[in-house]
Structure formats: C-alpha cells, structure tokens
Amino acid sequence: QKEVEQDPGPLSVPEGAIVSLNCTYSNSAFQYFMWYRQYSRKGPELLMYTYSSGNKEDGRFTAQVDKSSKYISLFIRDSQPSDSATYLCAFHQGGNNRLAFGKGNQVVVIP
Amino acid sequence: GAVVSQHPSWVICKSGTSVKIECRSLDFQATTMFWYRQFPKQSLMLMATSNEGSKATYEQGVEKDKFLINHASLTLSTLTVTSAHPEDSSFYICSARAGSEAFFGQGTRLTVV
C-alpha cells in the first residue's frame, strides 16, 4: 500500500463550481496535513495546514481531515480561473521528518 | 507565511560546467532545508536533506559528488550541480521548515545544453 494516494487525473470545472480534491494515507504517524498549490514552473505554495481532525476554513478554501479514515480533502468554493493549478497534498510526522507528497491533481477552471 | 527565496529562477549552462543554486530563508532560521527535483507533470522527488553545520543526507540513488550541498548558515543552503549534463536538466526546488509548516522556494529551472 502506498504511503499517500492522490488520484492525479486532471479535473476541469466551470468557473464558480466547487472543486473537491482528496488524498488517502496509510502512515498513522503523520501528524501534519497540508495542501499546496503549484502553478506551472513555480514552487509549491502552502495553501492550508492543519494538525487535527475536522474542518479548517480560509476564505474560499476548506481543508478537511479525518484521521480515523486516514483521509484528507480540499474544497475550493466559487472557483476562479486563477485557481487553475496543480494541487498537492502533503504529510509529515513532525520535527524535520521528510514530507510525503501525493502525485498532485491538475485543476482547470474554465471561464 | 514564511518566505523562502531561491535563486536563480532559471539558468542555462553548457555541458561540463557547474551551476550553483541558492536557497535562503528570509524571515526565519532553518536548521534543516530540503532539496527536491521535479520532472514535468510529476510530483516532487526528495534529493537530500541539508543540515546546518553538518553533512547533507542524500536519498538513495542521488550522487552526492554530483549534487554538492552546503548549509553554511541558518538562513542559506546551496546546491551545486557539478559537471552538468543534459540529463541533469530539471526543475530544482528547495524547502525549509518554519515550525511544523514547510515552505518552498520559487524553484530553479536548469537547462544543460
């Protein structure tokens, strides 16, 4: 079983739609859960960071963590063309342990 | 969030030459920085963990003599690609931790001709 699973299939949505992305993980030691947005030819940008189960909201973005099911989600409300990017989920155990990444989801928001 | 600055953002070099990439944490100190390589449409591949004042830890399959890492201060780590070849052409990204959050540099696109 892979440590992190993220379906990399491209996702196209019309402007204004809700984007729903998710990742599953197998390592129970993961304590920190992150979502990154990466535009083409740029470094990843930290979007959401959380360490507990439940929802965390920041503007149009909501991160959801379910530790019991080892499942995290990212929701983008009222999607905009500027949200078109690749979204990566990431996990780590704390300290200076390495990040474990999903493969990334390419999202295209169509005007 | 914290800022990690990486330079240059892109570089073209001739085969056989060396290229140095800098990664700086601008508003925090980072005892550990990470260097990644990313191929088109793929996720980030960890190359090495850079520790301030000590030797870097390289991932399996990464040549330490080819990819020299120096972490001379709490705010600066450098990656030098030595004797570059076209197959070294890639997107290189550094990362540093601020607490438990990880921030990335802008990335460096290296093209070896």
Determine whether the interchain pair B32/A96 forms a contact, defined as Cβ–Cβ distance below 8 Å. Answer: yes
Instruction: Give per-residue pLDDT as tens, A83-106.
Output: 999 999 999 988 778 899 999 999
Size of interface A-B (CB pairs under 8 A): 54
pLDDT of the residue at B100: 85
pLDDT of the residue at B52: 86
Determine whether the interchain pair B101/A103 forms a contact, defined as Cβ–Cβ distance below 8 Å. Answer: no
pLDDT of the residue at B93: 98
**pLDDT beneath 50, residues of chain B:** none
pLDDT of the residue at A87: 97
Q: Is A98 on the interface with B (CB under 8 A)?
A: yes
User: Average of pLDDT values for A78-86?
Assistant: 97
Q: Is the omega angle on the peptide bond into residue B8 within 30 degrees of 0, that is, cis?
A: yes
With contacts defined as CB-CB under 8 Å, which chain B residues touch A43?
Answer: 4, 6, 93, 104-107
Percentage of chain B surpassing pLDDT 70? 100
> What span, in angstroms and rounded, lies between the C-alpha atoms of A91 and B9?
26
| DSSP at B61 | T
| DSSP at B86 | G
Cα separation values, B53 from A39, B62, B76, B77, Å: 33, 21, 11, 10
pLDDT of the residue at A31: 93
| DSSP at B88 | G
Instruction: Give per-residue pLDDT as tens, A18-49.
Output: 999 999 999 999 999 999 999 999 999 999 99
pLDDT of the residue at A9: 79
- Asked if B36 and B47 touch (Cβ cutoff 8 Å), the reply is yes
Res. A57 pLDDT band, cuts 50 70 90: very high
- Asked if A70 and A24 touch (Cβ cutoff 8 Å), the reply is yes
Judged by DSSP in three states, A111 sits in: coil
Alpha carbon dihedral B69, B44, B18, B32, in 10-degree steps, equals -20
Determine whether the interchain pair A88/B44 forms a contact, defined as Cβ–Cβ distance below 8 Å. Answer: yes
Chain B residue with CA closest to A33: the answer is B101
Determine whether the interchain pair A43/B32 forms a contact, defined as Cβ–Cβ distance below 8 Å. Answer: no
With contacts defined as CB-CB under 8 Å, which chain B residues touch A36?
Answer: 104
pLDDT of the residue at B53: 84
